[in-house]
Amino acid sequence: MHRLSSYLSVALLALLLSSCGQAVTPQQSKNIALNYAKDSIPADLRKYSQATFAAGCFWHEETLFESIKGVVHGISGYAGGTTQNPTYESIETGTTGHAETVNIYYDSSKISYYKLLQVYFESQEDPTQVNGQGPDNGTQYRSIIFYRNAQEMAMAKQYIDRLNKSGKYSKPIAAEVVPYTTFWRAEDYHQHYIDHNTENPYVQNVSIRDIARFQATHPEMIKPGHSFAAAK
């Protein structure tokens, strides 16, 4: 589902969410997003560990991970397909094999890969949803863990196995676990999109709602001034 064509359904969803106390106001969202915009990006990212995940819209995946203590930077992009130099327009057709993806740089002395997996799964609206998350549907929104070594692969598969055996879900976890190959950086206007576009109906009523849901559950993991849940 293209985001621009989903605003009507998003607006209806907003009415429901506001009655449940699950939506922050536009001004509150804007104030919090300013803190993200002020975050400095390390000059040399090569000294940090990397993790690469896909789980629906990369706008809120990027922002969510950048709110986590120990994560120093996130980049929105495309991975999982075979097409060279994919663009947003091309991957939105669902024919390139790529998914909207975030590449995370993190300080492994402050947060572990296992903790990042926790953020990844617990922040999803429905980790059993195949080819999509929430209102975003299609292979370009499927859930994927791109592992870089055997240890990451083992941890991801063990985490999924534990979730499947927990009895919490009636369907199996949908995330694919595949080796990391190539990450294509998305267009500039997608980078830190939420920081500068909190007035976007999709951002306000879907992205921020999903981010806040996780932040409210794990306040100890969130950087000061970066919690949308704190504005409620």
Q: What is the DSSP letter of 196?
A: H
CA distances 113 to 118, 134, 156, 194, 227, Å, are 9, 25, 9, 25, 21
Active site residue 20: no
For residues 56 and 100, give the distance between their C-alpha atoms in angstroms, rounded to a whole number: 7
| Cβ–Cβ < 8 Å for 46, 194 | no
| Cβ–Cβ < 8 Å for 80, 54 | yes
| Cβ–Cβ < 8 Å for 102, 62 | yes
User: Which is nearest to 120 in space by CA: 54, 206, 22?
Assistant: 54
**3-state SS class at 193:** helix
| Cβ–Cβ < 8 Å for 49, 106 | yes
Q: What is the DSSP letter of 136?
A: E
User: Which is nearest to 142 in space by CA: 111, 189, 101?
Assistant: 101
Place of tokens 């669902």: 94
| Cβ–Cβ < 8 Å for 177, 153 | yes
Paired tokens of 207: 């992205």
Q: Which of 10, 57, 116, 194 is catalytic?
A: 57
- Positions marked active-site: 57
